[in-house]
Amino acid sequence: MLRNRLICGYCGSPMSAETGTARNGELKRYYKCYGKKRNNGCKKSQIRKELLEQLVVDTTLEVINENTISEIADFILKNHEEKKTENAELNILLKEKSDLQSQIDNVVKAITAGIITLSTKSKLEELEKTLSETNTAIEVLQSKEKIKLTKEDVVKYLNVAIRKEPYQMLRTLLKQVVLYDDKIEIHFNYIKSFNPDDNGQGFLFTTKQKTIKYVILNFPNLQTIRMLIKVYF
């Protein structure tokens, strides 16, 4: 259920599900840190697959319900508008474009003045290629800014996604889950049709604590711990 979504909070490695056999022959499934398996020094404890998946499902259903969908949509729209206003990446590209154009103008002036060498011609071609790539990147970002995200879009998306079966629901809604031994960060997508390549952390929507059973390092039996849960959109 969490394949390609679950990340170790300590070393940043993916966590994958594995199956082991207990002494009584019972099959048990766990999520384990890939970095720890590769002996990178990570001490992340394993966690029962069913327990973790149920925790994520329960948290999703608690957070996204009829009472909170409207509030979540308002937060998403506000965050979306702030990102459009504070588009640092676009500002950087616009500055690069201006600098590139100035460099091109200087090279053209040199060529006009009769300073024509293989290096000046090569430099001009390189600058023009970089300027073309920068213009393309600017156009992509500006086209994203023109996308009109409405509250109706967000509410409809959340309502449809939350009514799916748990597996489909999480594969649709989840962007990433970051797991520590005593904390979990659940990152949800904004809206499927908007900005799918936006990897930036969204806003913290809620924080809660829950008591769960966990397999702690060096303890073969399940231990009861308090897990801090942070939910981001």
The predicted pLDDT at position 196 comes to: 41
Distance CA 134, CA 121 (A): 20
Q: Is residue 135 part of a domain?
A: yes
The β-bridge relationship of strands 15-21 and 174-179 is: unpaired
Q: Is residue 123 part of a domain?
A: yes
| pLDDT tens profile 56-94 | 999 999 888 888 898 888 888 887 777 666 567 778 888
DSSP 227: E
The predicted pLDDT at position 134 comes to: 92
Q: How many domains does the chain have?
A: 1
Mean pLDDT of 49-58: 90
Q: Is residue 36 part of a domain?
A: no
Q: Is residue 130 part of a domain?
A: yes
What's the mean per-residue pLDDT of the chain? 83
The predicted pLDDT at position 176 comes to: 93
The residue segments making up the domain with residue 139 are 84-145
